[in-house]
Amino acid sequence: MADPMKIRAQMKGDTAEIRVLMSHAMETGQRKDNTGATVPSHFIQSITVDVGGKRVIQGQTGTSVSRNPVFGFKVKGAKAGDKVIINWVDNKGDKRTDEATIAA
């Protein structure tokens, strides 16, 4: 199973700043291992962010996103204490959902 994400969420004024680190190989499908064999592509394809019960972001990603991806978002009108739920799904169907609470 995939490692947990690290999610940081903090209010700055009336805007929540959300940063997330994801543990994922993000294989492009172009890399060769040391035996010369091509390593099959394996990458996150979709990401959703829910804040306070509302879907605020949904995104799709490709192989150009760096290994162990980092994303940052800003959500206006969120409040300290709101729950942030982030989900990803990759091209092999692996997925991961983690949550955090917005800090003041």
Partner 1 sequence: MKQRLSTLLVAAMMSAAFAVHAQQPARKAAPPAKKDGITAEFEKFREVLEEDNPAELFEARGEDIWKNRKGPAGASMAQCDLGLGAGVVKGAYVQMPRYFADVAQVMDAERRIVHCMVKYLGYNEADIRKQPFSNVNKTPDHVSVITYVAAQSRNMKIAAPQKHPKEKEAYNIGKEIFAYRAGPYDFSCASCHGADGMRIRTQDLPNLRKPAEAIRAYQGWPGYRMTGGFMLTQQWRMNDCFRQQRFPEPSYLSDSITALLAYMTVTANGQVYKGPGIKR
Partner 2 sequence: MDALRRTLLKGAGATGAIAAAIAAGVLKPSQVLAAEWNRAAFDAKDVAGAVKGLGGAGAADHAGIVIKAPDIAENGAVVPVDVSSSIPNTVSLAVLVDKNPLPLSAAFDFANGALPEMALRLKLGQTSLVEVVARTADGKFYKAKKEVKVTVGGCGG
Report the partner that residue 92 touches, choosing among partner 1, partner 2, none (CB closer than 5 to 8 A by kind).
Answer: none
Q: Which residues of 73-84 are buried (b: 16+ CB within 10 A; e: fewer)?
A: bebeebeeebeb
Give the Cβ contact number of residue 18 at 10 Å.
23
- Tokens standing for residue 48: 């959703």
Q: Per rule CB under 8 A, is residue 24 in the interface with partner 2?
A: no
- Tokens standing for residue 55: 């879907």
Stretch near partner 2 under the rule CB under 8 A, chosen from 2-10, 32-40, 49-57: 49-57
Q: Per rule CB under 8 A, is residue 22 in the interface with partner 2?
A: no
Q: Which is nearer to partner 2, 10 or 63 (CB)?
A: 63
Which of 3, 4, 40, 58 forms a contact with partner 2 (CB under 8 A)?
58
Hey, which residues does 14 pair with through a beta bridge? none
Nearest to residue 92, comparing CAs of 41, 23, 32? 41
Number of residues binding to partner 2, judged by CB under 8 A:
40
DSSP class of residue 30 equals -
Q: Per rule CB under 8 A, is residue 89 in the interface with partner 2?
A: yes
| Residues near partner 2, by CB under 8 A | 15, 19, 26, 28, 30, 45-49, 51, 54-67, 69-78, 87, 89, 91, 93, 95
